[in-house]
Amino acid sequence: MAKPPKKSPSRLLSLAGMTARIGSDVARDRWQRLWQKDIDSSAADAALYTRIGREIAATLGNMKGAVMKVGQIISQYRDVLPAELIEALSSLQNQAPARPFSEVEARLIEAFGSDWRQHFQRVDEIALASASIAQVHRACTRDGREVVVKVQYPDVDQSIKADLRQLRMAFKIARVLPVNGELLDAIFEEIRQSLSDELDYFLEANTLQRFREFHQDDPLVIIPEVVVALSSRHVLTLIYEPGDHFAELDARYDQATRNALGERLFRSMARQLFILKTVHCDPHPGNFAARRDGSIIMYDFGSVKTLSDAGVQRYASITEAALANDAQRLEQGLIAMGARNTDHTPHLDAAFYAPWMRLAGASIGDDIVKYGEFPLAEIAMKLSREALPHWRAFQPVPEQVMINRAIGGHYWNLRELRAELAMRPEVLAWTSAALA
């Protein structure tokens, strides 16, 4: 049986203990380097980041709740975090176990009163799915509509600020993000705002409607309808839209269907970025499903991000530069975006960018890319290790935290689908339109 998240002050004690252990480890590491002149710095860095990652993963995984979600978000920083830290944090991507129905029933009583069952013919008390901050139950409304009811865990929103403050301190001590204190504050504020939005189901209901309207020109992109009368700030009821999760696709899904699904997913996300300028930012495979007619179903719109026109144009510009093997334009675009720390490294030449541009070209090709076989993540991890001396030449951009999470996550979804696509012409059409 799943345990609920720890409550304050035990949560704060857990995070404070984690911070103290990380601080002690970092201090010991620095002391050893001071006195052991022949130490292999690269090996020492790798060992330290692995230990820090395991410490953070163990603490956050045990605490559950919103702070575990923070760990999941941070683990998507594959472009700026040390590879060893990413590997250790990857355990936080696993699905959280469901809680007893008696715990989440408190939210239903809060929303609809003690006689909440009168609104339903049936509510399945065994959760259909669960995550770090909520779980979902199948149900049937009084008027016979099959629905799913997403119920937020009680008290999950009460400890976010304190948890984030302590976690930020741990990252500052560990120095695993190549940023100054001001930028670190901005990153954690972006994460805090994203989590705050994700906990507001009224906001998610409005977002669902906006995305339904945007995608209505493609009947094979399915976004569930909100049952407004049975929704509240902490309970969201949607029409049940069944499908097969990507990891469950079997022989009934031939290669042509898999390609259609991958193309639809790719196109939907690109249109959100370059046209709607608001992106579904939780690429967890459980938030998507497929049907044999080529339909894609999108669930969970709690995490979305709206970009400014300038932000979209910056994405378009660096995409074009990478695909054109234009290192100078890519360098300038990353500087304009704020992703390049020129105070630490004023200039990076074409030789540094060349393997990354080759990887971009191979992953978005004129020719067919077999995503099920294409080892993008493995190549990127290898390049990240080789680029370790230039690690602090880059820094995360707060506005892009959630967008980059979506982009990175959907590579894994295309890989799971084993889609075979040639999307470069469409990508360049979207970027050209964004820059026009």
Task: Give the alpha-carbon dihedral of 218, 195, 400, 420, to 10 degrees.
Answer: -40
Rounded Cα–Cα distance for residues 92 and 95 (Å) = 8
Determine what percent of the chain falls in helix, strand and coil, rounding each to the nearest 5.
60, 10, 30
Rounded Cα–Cα distance for residues 190 and 175 (Å) = 19
Burial class (CB in 10 A: 0-12, 13-18, 19+), 59: buried
At residue 410, the 3 state secondary structure works out as helix
Q: Which of 65, 57, 77 is nearest to 103 (CA)?
A: 65
* Pairing outcome for strands 221-222 and 420-421: unpaired
Residues 6+ apart with CB under 8 A from 179: 187, 341, 395, 396
Handedness of CA 152, 413, 424, 352 (dihedral sign): positive
Widest CA span in the chain: 75
Residue 369 C-alpha from the chain's centroid: 23
> Catalytic residues, which ones?
282
Q: Which of 246, 221, 272 is nearest to 372 (CA)?
A: 246
The tokens describing 325, both together, are: 């093997």
Phi, psi of 134 (to 5 degrees): -160, 170
* CB atoms closer than 10 angstroms to residue 172: 18
* Pairing outcome for strands 296-298 and 221-222: parallel
